[in-house]
Amino acid sequence: MDRKLLYSTIGLIAIGMIMIYSSSSVMAEVRFGSHSYFLKRQLLWLIIAGVLAWLTLKIDLKKFSSLAVPLLFVSLIMLVLVFFMPARNGSHRWLFLGPITIQPSEIYKIITIFYLAFSLSQKDRDIKNLKQFLLPYVPLIGSGLILIILEPGLGSALTIMITVLIIFYLAGLRLIHLAALLLPLVGLVSIMVFIVGYKKPRVMDYLSAVGDPLSGSYQIKQAVLALGAGGLFGAGLGNGRQKLFFLPYPHTDFIFASIGEELGFIGLLVILGLFGVIIWRGTKIARYQPDQFGFLLAMGIVASIFTATVINIGVVTSLLPTTGIPLPFLSYGGSALVVSVVSIAALLNLSRRKGVVVR
């Protein structure tokens, strides 16, 4: 097993747990009467993630891949069911099953990677053939992306779309076909934003913040202030001020800003270093896979983690428009944590296959 990958993941999760408690304790005390409310719930999800990760390590992923198609349809049904659930913050992104809250878009993301690795590695599948590319991938994946956009969940849809395009490219899709797929998507997004008005205020706030971050949206202003207040070494663990109801979602989407304020630039470098190790080890595991299935699955997971990390940090640092997407392993959120941990377990499983070098 690739221990560098394992230890880096454990390090990120540990830092995430500490920072979730630090950034949410005041809010939890005021809203729920317990300063450890969010930490306890995240620890419960971590236990569930650990059990699922253990099961992932035990199974033969290639044999299990035959379930990829039915699992994909199940995830699509879950994406439909969210629209019958009560809205939260104006969005239909969650399934409420008693005390448990599930975000189907996270589940759809990992299952899509699993499905593409299975399907594109079949001997009779020629991705360079336009017909085989259009069917069944465009309707299956396109319908999922449309459902996620309608939630609305543009950040999640963007992460999945970029990951899917990377997998297609690595599987041998012709660049002209890739461009033919990408250009209509860019056009559709432009129409939705600037003509229909979907997320237009956020985009305009972003354009205003390009020259001056403090002229952007309220979230961006507070995030920039938090990062600036941290300086080189930070204000100290637990001493951040932006979490006192100034910075929105300090323990979820903007936890990177909370870390920057309390642990400083040095703390952020440690975080980026751990993510760098995960990307490096995941790419190395993919490189030594004995078959196309393992290669595409490993690279799909790496691409997903990398994309989500870049988008989240880009939003927090005002390099990208504001969109709600968690930072893998660090942000509060059960579904995201479970999917991230299971994804690493899949990489660790692949690292133990015959012929894979993990030194």
Q: Which two tokens stand for residue 16?
A: 């995430």
Amino acid at 278: I
The CA angle 157-184-144, to the nearest 5 degrees, is 30
Percent of the chain with pLDDT over 70: 95
Q: Which two tokens stand for residue 98?
A: 């008693």
Q: Tens digits of per-residue pLDDT, 228-286? A: 999 999 999 989 899 888 888 899 999 999 999 999 999 999 999 999 999 999 999 99
Nearest by Cα to 264 from 231, 300, 218, 215: 231
Whether the pLDDT of residue 216 is over 80: the answer is no
DSSP reduced 3-state for 97: strand
**Rounded distance, CA 107 to CA 339, Å?**
7
**Rounded distance, CA 286 to CA 283, Å?**
5
pLDDT bin (cut points 50, 70, 90) of residue 199 is low
Helix (H) / strand (E) element for 29: namely helix 3-32
pLDDT bin (cut points 50, 70, 90) of residue 7 is very high
Could you list the beta-strand ranges (E) of 117-206.
none
Q: What is the DSSP letter of 321?
A: -
DSSP string, 56-75: HHHS-HHHHGGGHHHHHHHH
**Rounded distance, CA 34 to CA 27, Å?**
9
For the segment 36-63, the average pLDDT, to the nearest whole number, is 94
Q: What is the DSSP letter of 327?
A: P
Q: What is the DSSP letter of 86?
A: P
What are the CA-CA distances from residue 176 to residues 180, 181, 287 (Å)? 6, 9, 26
Which pLDDT score is estimated for 194?
A: 66
More confident of the two residues 10 and 186: 10
For the segment 341-357, the average pLDDT, to the nearest whole number, is 90
Site of tokens 């299990």: 64
Helix (H) / strand (E) element for 167: namely helix 154-170
Which pLDDT score is estimated for 92?
A: 83
**Rounded distance, CA 321 to CA 307, Å?**
15
Contact 129, 61 (CB under 8 A): no
Could you list the beta-strand ranges (E) of the chain.
95-97, 100-102
Q: Tens digits of per-residue pLDDT, 25-49? A: 999 999 999 999 999 999 999 999 9
Contact 340, 354 (CB under 8 A): no
Within its chain, how far is the Cα of 155 from the centroid?
9
Q: Tens digits of per-residue pLDDT, 287-299? A: 999 999 999 999 9
Between helix 104-120 and helix 137-150 the angle, nearest 10°, is 170
Amino acid at 122: Q
Strand pairing report for 95-97 and 100-102: antiparallel
Q: Which residues pair with 97 in a beta bridge?
A: 100
pLDDT bin (cut points 50, 70, 90) of residue 57 is very high
Q: Which residues pair with 88 in a beta bridge?
A: 91
